């Protein structure tokens, strides 16, 4: 009765493409009732409407719309005329150009009993789609039956923040509150798809560094897993059978830090930092507190986060602990101020020789000498931040972004006003033969130096690392720090031995580099 195409070699499928006519619905119904059909699947495609298909199986002919990205099922052919099926197919094609959710468009159109060709249909379609979008977002707030992404973020941060160190809480929250998350903030968590998350990841990558994308993705996956395990009903993930979001990934590999500046390079950096405090017109000079902090980090090799919280009233007389350390002070940081590993932070005490104290106290006096913080900027009520100290290092390398001008080069022949020229900054590191390095790299330098002096245990103690006993000499073993900041577990004597050698070596290098700088500047003036 019907002409079939040859059998597909892969399966019992028979396909035919032709222009549908008014009798196609009746023919499809008749064919579905044919006993000869058996388990064969027949597909007819309308050459007059892109993708419109009738799929015929035993007693069930169904309208479909096949697109490259998806296949949309309409309904059985007896429930929809050819004209109405074509109308829906064309509306879906238009909706695709508008980047609408095609499944929503299909559901709304199929909800109508008829499809008169008038403007009223378009109005009802827009109204129906708006209602579906609204249903996906509402209700929100305390009365919402399920969480939106924004609510999930708020609930997760309320759970997570108390478990984090106070200084790290805002940074952790920052990566879950990037502006790109606004695209899904009002979407129900249960409606989030992998495609949503991948678009979000790509949007973050456009404006942020790879490390920030990695942090945002990793923390978001942890947040979803928390909701799935502990708040499945509230979040709407009750019926989710597995953590599908673990497939959401970002290819990222942190570079291993291997830079180890020489003592001469560290000293030369301190020389040029003191000499070049005014690096660009219209910018403030380097604050004394910043220079003092730069000196302090180089002299002690401490992590900047904890070191910048040093207070004058936290410098104690070292002679009360070790008699021979007259004139020394012991700087102290609480467990809360120190960086924590898996077992949390540990209190840390560091003996500082008089030579080092004189330098940081000089800059403390230059910055006002009244603040409760040892290192301050413009506002004596606050200590300078890690970013301010890192920015000082970047400025010495000419790496500061100029926010005052348009960051595009002028193009010849382009009408209109030209952009203001960028401020040119000299790379003082390159000019004075210093390989780029960061303040954290000092920790590797002091470790290498004291290892060469057979005081590797002293370096470990100075840096506040927890050690395993291993093969380290008994006199250099560092036990885990206890709550008693001046107990024997702090190894004040051992730390002092290492600090004396390191400070002496760095200050001697500073004297040499300062002399070379004066001689070089003198010769340049003579030539000029």
Tell me which of 181-195, 211-225, 416-430 is least confident.
416-430
Which pLDDT score is estimated for 378? 87
Packed helices 492-527 and 442-452: angle between N→C axes, nearest 10 degrees: 110
| Averaged pLDDT for residues 114-130 | 52
Q: Which domains does the chain have, with CATH numbers?
A: 13-137 (no CATH), 149-247 (1.10.150), 263-401+422-437+503-527 (1.10.443)
- Tens of pLDDT, residues 334-380: 877 776 554 556 788 999 999 999 999 999 999 998 999 999 988 88
DSSP per residue over 70-123, as a string? -EEEEEEGGGS-HHHHHHHHHHHHHHHHTT--HHHHHHHHHTSS---SSHHHHH
Which pLDDT score is estimated for 305? 87
User: Is residue 489 predicted with pLDDT exceeding 70?
Assistant: no
Q: In the chain, what percentage of residues exceed pLDDT 90? A: 40
DSSP per residue over 259-327, as a string? ----HHHHHHHHHHHHH----STTSPPPPHHHHHHHHHHHHH---HHHHTT--GGGEEEGGGTSTT-TT
Higher pLDDT, 127 or 454: 454
**Shortest CA distance to 345 belongs to which of 152, 482, 184, 222?**
482
- Tens of pLDDT, residues 490-525: 789 899 999 999 999 999 999 999 999 888 776 666
Reported as a pLDDT band with limits 50, 70 and 90, residue 474 is very low
**Shortest CA distance to 244 belongs to which of 279, 286, 312, 192?**
192
Which pLDDT score is estimated for 108? 79
Reported as a pLDDT band with limits 50, 70 and 90, residue 141 is very low
User: Is residue 6 predicted with pLDDT exceeding 90?
Assistant: no
Which pLDDT score is estimated for 113? 45
Which pLDDT score is estimated for 100? 78
Reported as a pLDDT band with limits 50, 70 and 90, residue 411 is low
User: Is residue 478 predicted with pLDDT exceeding 50?
Assistant: no
Higher pLDDT, 225 or 134: 225
Distance CA 52, CA 82 (A): 10
Bridge-based pairing of strands 13-18 and 41-46 is: parallel
Cβ neighbours for 256, distance < 8 A, ≥ 6 positions apart: none
Which pLDDT score is estimated for 399? 81
Contact 398, 428 (CB under 8 A): yes
For the full predicted model, state whether its pTM sits above 0.75: no
| Averaged pLDDT for residues 128-156 | 66
Which pLDDT score is estimated for 105? 80
Q: What are phi and psi of 348, to 5 degrees?
A: -140, 135
| Averaged pLDDT for residues 284-290 | 89
Contact 47, 19 (CB under 8 A): yes
């Amino acid at each position: 009765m019907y002409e079939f195409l040859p059998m597909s070699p892969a399966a019992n499928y028979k396909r035919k493409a032709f222009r549908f006519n008014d009798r196609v619905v009746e023919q499809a119904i008749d064919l579905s009732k044919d006993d000869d059909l058996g388990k064969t699947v027949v597909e007819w495609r309308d050459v007059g409407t892109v993708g419109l298909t009738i799929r015929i199986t035993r007693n069930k002919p169904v309208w479909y719309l096949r697109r490259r990205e998806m296949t949309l099922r309409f309904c059985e052919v007896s429930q929809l005329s050819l004209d109405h099926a074509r109308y829906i197919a064309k509306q879906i094609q238009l909706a695709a150009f508008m980047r609408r959710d095609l499944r929503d468009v299909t559901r709304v159109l199929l909800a109508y009993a008829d499809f008169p060709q008038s403007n009223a249909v378009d109005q009802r379609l827009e109204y129906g789609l708006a209602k579906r979008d609204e249903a996906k977002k509402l209700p929100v707030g305390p009365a919402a039956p399920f969480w939106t992404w924004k609510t999930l973020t708020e609930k997760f941060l309320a759970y997570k923040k108390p478990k984090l160190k106070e200084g790290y809480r805002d940074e952790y929250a920052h990566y879950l509150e990037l502006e790109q998350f606004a695209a899904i903030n009002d979407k129900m968590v249960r409606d989030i798809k992998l495609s949503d998350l991948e678009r979000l990841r790509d949007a973050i990558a456009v404006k942020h560094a790879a490390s920030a994308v990695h942090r945002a993705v990793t923390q978001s996956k942890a947040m979803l897993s928390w909701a799935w395990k502990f708040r499945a009903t509230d979040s709407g993930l009750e019926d989710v059978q597995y953590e599908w979001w673990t497939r959401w990934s970002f290819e990222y590999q942190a570079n291993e830090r291997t830079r180890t500046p020489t003592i001469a390079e560290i000293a030369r950096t301190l020389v040029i930092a003191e000499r070049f405090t005014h690096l660009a017109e219209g910018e403030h000079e380097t604050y004394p507190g910043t220079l003092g902090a730069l000196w302090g980090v180089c002299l002690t090799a401490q992590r900047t986060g904890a070191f910048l919280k040093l207070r004058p009233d936290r410098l104690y007389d070292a002679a009360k602990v070790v008699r021979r350390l007259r004139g020394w002070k012991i700087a102290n940081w609480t467990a809360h101020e120190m960086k924590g590993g898996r077992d949390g932070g540990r209190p840390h005490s560091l003996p500082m020789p008089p030579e080092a104290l004189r330098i940081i106290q000089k800059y403390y006096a230059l910055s006002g000498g009244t603040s409760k913080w040892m290192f301050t900027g413009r506002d004596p009520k606050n200590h300078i931040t890690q970013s301010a100290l890192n920015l000082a290092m970047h400025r010495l390398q000419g790496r500061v972004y100029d926010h005052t001008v348009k960051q595009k080069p002028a193009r010849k022949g382009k009408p209109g006003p030209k952009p203001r020229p960028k401020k040119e900054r000299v790379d003082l590191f390159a000019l004075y033969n210093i390989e780029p390095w960061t303040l954290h790299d000092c920790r590797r330098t002091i470790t290498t130096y004291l290892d060469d002096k057979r005081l590797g245990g002293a370096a470990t103690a100075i840096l506040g690392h927890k050690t395993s006993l291993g093969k380290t000499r008994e006199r250099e073993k560092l036990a885990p720090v206890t709550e008693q900041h001046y107990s024997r577990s702090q190894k004040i004597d051992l730390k002092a031995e290492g600090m004396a050698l390191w400070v002496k070596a760095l200050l001697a290098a500073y004297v040499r580099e300062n002399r070379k700088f004066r001689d070089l500047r003198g010769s340049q003036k003579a030539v000029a």
